[in-house]
Amino acid sequence: MKRFKNVLVVYDDAIGGDDALSQAVALSQSNGARLTIATVLREAPLPGLAAEAAKRTERLADSVRHAGVATVDCGVLAGVPFEEIIRQVVRHQHDLVIMSAQAGKTLRDVVFGGAAAQVIRKCPCPVWVIRPGQAIPYQRILAAIDPAAVLHDHLNVKIMDLAASLASRDQALLHVVHAWDVEGKDLDTIRSEISSEQRQAILRRHESKRRQAVDALLAGYPMGAINHRLHLPRDLPERAIVSLTEREQIDLIVMGTEGRFGLSGLLLGNAVEAVLRSVECGILAVKPDHFETPVALPEAVLTGRGSLESRGWAA
C-alpha cells in the first residue's frame, strides 16, 4: 500500500465514520502519506453549522497529528456531497478516497442511495468504502481480475498491486478469482450435439488458456509469501464474485469498474453494479487508466486553504 501519498477521508458522525478515519490513519502512518479529513455538508447549511463542523474536524485533525501522522489537513465541503468530494480530489490530486457506509445499512443501500454511489462511479482515483464495525485488520480479501481482457491489462495490475499489498500488510488470506466462459466458435460447438468427451476437451482447453493468463499476471507478485487461493469458475463474473464472497466470508473486495464507451467519465458496468447490490463487505473500487471524471470544477475555484468561494472548502 505504499503507493498512496495523498489520502482523503470523508468523515461524518454516523456509526462507521470512526472506522473510516482509523483505516485512513493507519494507511497514512504506514505510507508516510498526507491525510486530509473532510466533513461534507449539504448546500446552504444552517447558520453556524459550518463553523461547528470546522471546529469538530480540526479537533479530529489534532488527534490524528498526535497519533503520529505528520501532515494533516482538514476542512468542510459544502454543496452536493459527491460533487464536492470529487472536486476536492481533482483540485488537490488525492490518490485515494476512504469513506464509510452509513450506520445500519448494507452497502447495497448506501452505494445505490447516497454519495458513495456517485463517488465510486465518477471519482478519478480509487475509492475505498469501509463497512461499519468491520474488524481490522482484514482476514479475507478477494481480488477480482480479468487477465483475458487485453484492454484492462493495467487495471488488472492495479487490482493485484492493491490486493497483494493489503494481504501482505494484514497477513490475510487472498482469494483471486477470474470467471470465464467458452468463446468463439467453440461456444456454438458445445451447444451442439457433441459427445461428452468432446465437450470436456473444449472446456479444459479454454480453462487452461485462462489459467495461463492468470499465472502470467500472478508471476509478478510474491505469491509464495502470500497465503492465497485461486478460483477459476466457469460463470458470469458478477455471480462468481458474489458467490465466493458469501461462501468465503470475504471482508474486502478489490475490483475494477467497467467502462461504457462513448460517455464522458465512467459508469458502473452491469457486473460491478450487480456485485455492489449484493454484497455487504468492504469495496475498494479501482479505475482504469485515462479515466476522466464527468464532474467539472466550478468557475469560482479555491484560491487557498481556508478560503471558500460560493461553495467548497471552509476551514
Per-residue model confidence (pLDDT) at position 136: 78
Instruction: Using the predicted structure, report yes or no on whether residue 306 has a pLDDT greater than 50.
Output: no
Lowest-confidence range among 8-12, 215-219, 253-257, 270-274?
270-274
Number of residues in the chain: 315
% the chain with pLDDT above 90 = 56
> Angle at the Cα of 101 (from 95 to 107), degrees rounded to 5?
105
DSSP conformational letter for 204: H
% the chain with pLDDT above 70 = 83
Residue range 22-29: average pLDDT? 92
pLDDT in tens, 81-102: 999 999 999 999 999 999 987 5
Q: Which of the given ranges, 11-25, 158-172, 289-303, has the highest pLDDT on average?
A: 158-172
What whole-number distance in Å separates Cα of residue 195 and Cα of residue 107? 45
Per-residue model confidence (pLDDT) at position 265: 39
Q: Could you give the domains of the chain?
A: 1-133+291-315 (3.40.50.620), 135-280 (3.40.50.620)
Per-residue model confidence (pLDDT) at position 114: 64
Rounded to two decimals, the pTM is: 0.85
What whole-number distance in Å separates Cα of residue 106 and Cα of residue 250? 15
pLDDT in tens, 99-130: 987 544 445 444 444 677 788 888 999 999 88
Instruction: Using the predicted structure, report yes or no on whether residue 34 has a pLDDT greater than 50.
Output: yes
Scanning the structure block, which residue is given the C-alpha cell 487472498?
174
Instruction: Using the predicted structure, report yes or no on whether residue 194 has a pLDDT greater than 70.
Output: yes
Residue range 257-286: average pLDDT? 64
Per-residue model confidence (pLDDT) at position 253: 95
Per-residue model confidence (pLDDT) at position 56: 92
Check if the beta carbon of residue 92 is closer than 8 Å to that of residue 36.
Answer: yes
Q: Which of the given ranges, 10-24, 92-106, 230-244, 293-307, has the highest pLDDT on average?
A: 230-244
